Amino acid sequence: MSRPVENGIGGDFEMYSPEGNWDNYYYLCVFPDCGAVGLKFSGRSSRIECGFPHTAGKNYTTAHPALLNAYAAGRAAQFEHGDREVSSH
């Protein structure tokens, strides 16, 4: 079950490292300038490592148009294939 985060759009993920660390509230996000997609804490796209420097700041982009379009396409595909189970988040 996903828990709400103030700025979070879409479902959140729990992240586990090989060293046994754990953290939650990771969201898909997009860095606006280069379009890099990542799964970062609270959807802070400045943390995405794409090989180029990103601007400072957090840059919350869980509602980036690319993600909203992808979520809409996913929902449309569910209906198209007759799946009546609809996610509650």
The binding site for Zn ion (CB under 5 A) comprises: 31, 34, 36, 50, 52
Contact 26, 40 (CB under 8 A): yes
Shortest separation between residue 62's beta carbon and Zn ion, angstroms:
17
Which are the contacts of 81, defined by CB distance < 8 A and separation ≥ 6? none
Q: What is the nearest approach in angstroms of Zn ion to the Cβ of residue 21? A: 25
Residue type present at position 50: C
Nearest approach, Cβ of residue 54 and Zn ion (Å)? 5
The number of C-alpha atoms within 13 Å of 37 and in the hemisphere containing its C-beta is 8
* Residue whose CB is less far from Zn ion, 42 or 45: 45
Closest CB to Zn ion among 34 and 73?
A: 34
